Structure 1
Amino acid sequence: MQRVPKAALLGAGALAIVLVVVVVLLVAGGGSDNDNKNAAAPRGGATQKQGNGDQGDAKPDASAKPSLTGSALPNGDLSNTRDMKGPITSGNVKDLQAGWSLALGQESQSQYGSYAASPVVVKGVIYSQDLASNVSAIDLKTGEVLWSQQYASPDQGPNGVNVGGGRVYGATADSAFALDQKTGKEIWSRKLIRNAGEGIDMAPGYHGGLVYVSTVPGNNGKFYGGGTKGILWALDAKSGKKVWSFDTAPTEKWSKKNEDINLGGGLWHTPAFDGSGGMYFGVGNPGPFPGTDDHPWGSSRPGKNLYTNSLVKLDAKTGKLKWYYQVIPHDIYDWDFQNPPILTKVKGRPAVVESGKVGYVVAVDRATGKLLWKRAVGKHNGHDKDPFYASKGQYSKLRLNEEIYPGRLGGVIAPMSTDGKYVFAPVVNNSVTFTGQDKDQATDGQTSTGELVAVDLDTGKIKWKVEFPTPAFGATTVTNDVVFATTFDGVLHAVSAKTGKTLWEQQLPASTNTGVTVHDNTVIAPAGLAAGQGQTPAIVTYTLNGK
């Protein structure tokens, strides 16, 4: 899972190249007309203006069209639809006007920028986490910081918080935590990593009195070292006590003698929850990749390498496996299947839609995990079957020094959204050329473009596509008939959900790898990457008619 400026970021893998590649790929964004009216978040607890409202149990189906105003969930609802209701439509989106701007200072930064989360809003208060794991409560109307809990624990992202039961749930680079929603005071903290090579970078799930947080096989110091893996933990929401765990990469089943070499799995994003006790999540890739000199093409880890590159359904209360769908076995190219699954319907049938860096969007039956349709998006150039060849030992069909699409920074890196008719996927077209078996013996393409693709939920066919000059590293968000997307050059795009026609664009104060949150008449747009001269990372807002 290679990371780049995130929020969408990449998966787990070679990390070192990130900002270097980013600067090369950047089409420098311009400045902002917004004044930075508020300084960076103050330290320590502060006053509060919000109530306790636990609105974490939103209705699960996109087809039910629940009102998400006040939703406390990172992806809008328990179904991860990112379909957020409010007055913004294709007819008035052009009337959005700049509101307040909150600077993201040095204390917000990791080596991957300042921000990679989807802020959540409850009763007029934004709950926000930066890439140093610091959490703030911010007044939606004014941008005033109400309280801040400082952790100074940089991670790679994507991260973020979840709110429910009067608590704010999040994670640092090594521990899950709960804060008092009114004051920001820490209630509990639970260390989850097993060794110094593991980390955490996701917004927790919260449902039914449990908090769900996964480790990943890497952190800011090292990524994808042997003997690391992603383990999903269910924690008691009130105490942080460990209730159950699920090993997303049981490496002892791949090869007991190579457990110290093999690694993988983990979650990047919040699981989805249905109304029948089921939870769904996507899993990152295995490693080492492509392999090692002694074990080329992943031969240290023979077989499918479950449950990597898979969509998994568990019983949310017990952690018992219900089913899995593996999009590609024995991955050798860092093709995570990592995005938050979307619960929706396909031809009236309850379904789950998932995507990832592998460059596919798939729909499966929610009850059985049976594939309903599978659609390639973005650029592919004939290497999709390479992992299958590797799993069968057909190494003569595999070659180093070949350009591969999608690359480590390509595919569908960020969360999708749906309006119940189409699913809107942000795509990155970037290649990689492996010159050796080590993940760091690779050259990423020096050009990178983006796409926004609308896929018909019933058929899996592409309805329309918008092409961008820079990568679409940020999640999409839909409200009524408007789809919001961001590109790495710091441009916020609003397009028609029906046609893909551009309705409105805005230059953010810095580059971004983060999508936006829509709450009522307000668009909250983090821009967390100072990748060009004069750029100032900040969270900015836009409101209808400036009100």
Structure 2
Amino acid sequence: MRHARFTSLFVALFTALVATTPYAQVQSADWPMFGGDWLHQRHVHQSAITPANVDRLVEAWSVDTGIDASFQATPIVVDGIMVVSLPFNHVMAMNAATGEVLWKYTHERLKNRPLCCGPANRGVAVHGGKVFMGTVDSRLIALDFRTGQTMWDVDVTGGEQGVQEEVSALQGQMTTEPGKREVSGASGAGINMAPMVYGGNVIVGITGVGYGLHLDSPDPNAPLGAVVGIAGNYGRRGFMAAFDEQTGALVWKFDTVPDQGWEGRFVTHTPDGVKLPRNIAQEKTQLAQHAQAWKYGGGSSWSTPAIDRKNGLLYFGTGNPSPQMEGSSRPGDNLYTTSLVALDANTGELKWFYQQVPHDLWGYDVASPPVLFTARVNGVPIPAVGQAGKTGWFYAFNRLNGKLLYKSEPFVPQHNMFALPTREGTVIYPGVVGGSNWSPVSVDEKRRLVYIAGMHWPVKYQLHELPPKDGKPGLKYSSMSPMEDGSKYGLLTAIHIDTGKKVWQHKVKDPMIGGVLSTDSGLVFSGEGSGELFALDARNGQRLWEAKNDAGVNAPAVSYTVNGEQYIAVAIGGNKLFGYTQGHTVRAWKLR
């Protein structure tokens, strides 16, 4: 009897130790965080659903959220409970096996803060009995995991939203008869990303600080009409910050544009050797005139950081500088925008950065979340961090020192990249809506593949110069307009994580936005704007299964197991920015 008690005590202590040990090799049936695990690989070891039986997937449950709006959230599943953030930052908790709604949180948005970048939220974090969510009105909120009651609410920007562009500044040049184009977004400050919890802190960054002016198409059912960048002092600088998970108090903050040295070295090439069309002498001459440009510098943090717990390093991508596309009022390299950045996860101290596009004029935000894996370079294992760029390349780095290991073969077509705008318009791709946008990738280390959701969507890049009018000075601005000529499509690409070589591609009708899920059994799940959730064979990209839905599947799918049954679940709500039908559903499938 005494031996049995000792054994039970030992098992309990061992279980607690394993649960708190970094990199513990414990297979969880939950989906406990944004990327599925600390590596953000979005790859599950659950193998009940296989290529041989995936055609037996049927709907297990479906929940109507009651909100028709762009839906981008990753559902989080902990202890059989699913928590999902809805557009406009409402939250629902559900029984993950049945879809039964357990509680709802209704977000009261601050009325003096206009949305900068739409209503979408990309998810929550769950830890220590709390649900953490960043909001579109730039607050960080903690809810009780069991009840949804608010535990604390912190204003992360203190109301400093930056300077918004106004369509009236364009003097009617970007309008179409019979009416004006509606403004669907402008620079501001909000939070789209799902937070991460690490070392007792909740880590989150702000977005929208270099968003530019987004104009809707004259057709209300069509995608975005144009993105406009206006020379001048618009936006503000971004940041990544850590807040105490018990109180919400600020612990550290890293500004994505420094107040000293933001101009950089005035480089003429990207770090990987691509020549940039810069007039360095002119930029240096303009520097004194724009010495305060860093205050408006941009550098949004669009996606959830990945954290290497063994080495205490945090990795995240930064957005384009501000003003969007228009570089005449921000000379220099505009550090640390359009970069992959590594910080000390405990202090926020900069460790290294890699600026994919210095002095970015094309909206090439580092938007897709970073992913951690082990690369084998010439047979030598190297701890790596990878990121799928809007440029159309997958970049892999030594995650300890930032050394570029390789830049992959392009996963989308490339044409006129890094070309300057012209008055008649230059067609480029990928552009502001190309490559891999915020969609997270999936990494299957066993098969040595990364799966990337890509967008081929040519844009017309145009320069506009307006003369003085009604006592107002002349104005210089640039615009990128996605082309509706039937040339756009989507590509799901498998790339070898050791070499950067393409292994296979699967083409779909529309540009892909949402993300990827892979399984140990050899399946790759993703969705389409036309409403399909589909599964591919991981070996060759062959489509094995699909389920049709009544709105775009433009959020990442997740997998979890409850009571021995594996589920695939996804938010179904489309995306207005890309013209995909909006909806109001969270749906799950399981084997019949």
Equivalent residue for 2:454?
427
Deviation at 1:529, TM superposition (A): 2.6
Alignment partner of 1:340 is 2:369: yes
Q: Deviations over 1:14-71 (max 9, x none)?
A: xxxxxxxxxxxxxxxxxxxxxxxxxxxxxxxxxxxxxxx99997965xxx97524213
Q: Deviations over 1:449-488 (max 9, x none)?
A: 1000000011110011111111211100111111101111
Equivalent residue for 1:320?
349
How far apart, in 2, do the equivalents of 1:314 and 1:535 lie? 37
How far apart, in 2, do the equivalents of 1:315 and 1:362 lie? 21
Quote the RMSD (CA, aligned, Å). Answer: 2.8
Alignment partner of 1:247 is 2:255: yes
Classify 1:66/1:533 alpha carbon distance in 2 versus 1 (closer, same or farther; 3 Å): closer
Equivalent residue for 2:275?
none
Contact 2:423 2:462 in 1 (8 A): no
Contact 1:56 1:73 in 2 (8 A): no
Equivalent residue for 1:233?
241
- Name stretches of at least 5 consecutive residues in structure 2 with no aligned partner: 1-15, 110-114, 162-187, 215-228, 264-286, 465-475
How far apart, in 2, do the equivalents of 1:258 and 1:104 lie? 45
Contact 1:510 1:527 in 2 (8 A): yes
Q: Deviations over 1:299-323 (max 9, x none)?
A: 3222221111111111011011111
How far apart, in 2, do the equivalents of 1:138 and 1:311 lie? 35
Deviation at 1:171, TM superposition (A): 1.3
Q: Deviations over 1:396-434 (max 9, x none)?
A: x97761101012211111110001110000001001112
Alignment partner of 1:300 is 2:341: no
Deviates more, 1:435-444 or 1:174-183: 435-444
2:299 to 265, 281, 284: 265
Q: How does 1:108-257 map to 2 (within 5 A)?
A: 108-109=67-68, 113-153=69-109, 155-173=118-136, 174-193=138-157, 194-196=159-161, 197-218=188-209, 226-250=234-258, 253-254=262-263, 257=291
Deviation at 1:219, TM superposition (A): 10
Q: Secondary structure at the match of 1:206?
A: strand
Classify 1:222/1:260 alpha carbon distance in 2 versus 1 (closer, same or farther; 3 Å): farther
How far apart, in 2, do the equivalents of 1:262 and 1:77 lie? 35
How far apart, in 1, do the equivalents of 2:29 and 2:572 lie? 23
- Name stretches of at least 5 consecutive residues in structure 1 with no aligned partner: 1-52, 292-297, 387-394
Alignment partner of 1:513 is 2:554: yes
Contact 1:230 1:266 in 2 (8 A): yes
How far apart, in 2, do the equivalents of 1:251 and 1:415 lie? 31
Alignment partner of 1:285 is 2:320: yes
Deviation at 1:285, TM superposition (A): 1.1
Equivalent residue for 2:405?
372
Q: Secondary structure at the match of 2:291?
A: helix
Look up the equivalent residue of 1:515 and give its one-letter code. Answer: P
Q: How does 1:34-49 map to 2 (within 5 A)?
A: none
Alignment partner of 1:484 is 2:522: no
Q: Secondary structure at the match of 1:435?
A: strand
Contact 1:56 1:164 in 2 (8 A): no
Equivalent residue for 1:9?
none
Look up the equivalent residue of 2:51 and give its one-letter code. Answer: S
Look up the equivalent residue of 1:434 and give its one-letter code. Answer: Y
How far apart, in 2, do the equivalents of 1:474 and 1:506 lie? 16
Q: Deviations over 1:216-270 (max 9, x none)?
A: 2349997787141211111011110000100112366336534388431121121
How far apart, in 2, do the equivalents of 1:511 and 1:228 lie? 33
TM-score by length of 1: 0.80
Contact 1:58 1:66 in 2 (8 A): no
Higher relative contact order (CA 8 A, sep 6+): 1
Contact 2:237 2:294 in 1 (8 A): no
Contact 2:554 2:573 in 1 (8 A): yes
Deviation at 1:289, TM superposition (A): 3.1
Contact 2:556 2:570 in 1 (8 A): yes
TM-score by length of 2: 0.74
Equivalent residue for 2:515?
475
How far apart, in 2, do the equivalents of 1:383 and 1:430 lie? 13
| Higher alpha-carbon Rg | 2
Classify 1:407/1:384 alpha carbon distance in 2 versus 1 (closer, same or farther; 3 Å): closer
**Structure 1 vs Structure 2: percent identity of aligned residues?**
34
How far apart, in 2, do the equivalents of 1:336 and 1:210 lie? 26
How far apart, in 1, do the equivalents of 2:330 and 2:435 lie? 24
Classify 1:451/1:444 alpha carbon distance in 2 versus 1 (closer, same or farther; 3 Å): same
Contact 2:93 2:101 in 1 (8 A): yes
Contact 2:258 2:294 in 1 (8 A): no
How far apart, in 1, do the equivalents of 2:404 and 2:126 lie? 33
Q: Secondary structure at the match of 1:132?
A: helix
How far apart, in 2, do the equivalents of 1:493 and 1:165 lie? 34
Contact 1:115 1:129 in 2 (8 A): no
Equivalent residue for 1:103?
64
How far apart, in 1, do the equivalents of 2:18 and 2:549 lie? 30
Equivalent residue for 1:441?
479
Look up the equivalent residue of 2:299 and give its one-letter code. Answer: G
Deviation at 1:95, TM superposition (A): 1.3
Equivalent residue for 1:22?
none
Equivalent residue for 2:31?
71
How far apart, in 2, do the equivalents of 1:503 and 1:426 lie? 17
Contact 2:129 2:146 in 1 (8 A): yes
Classify 1:149/1:75 alpha carbon distance in 2 versus 1 (closer, same or farther; 3 Å): same
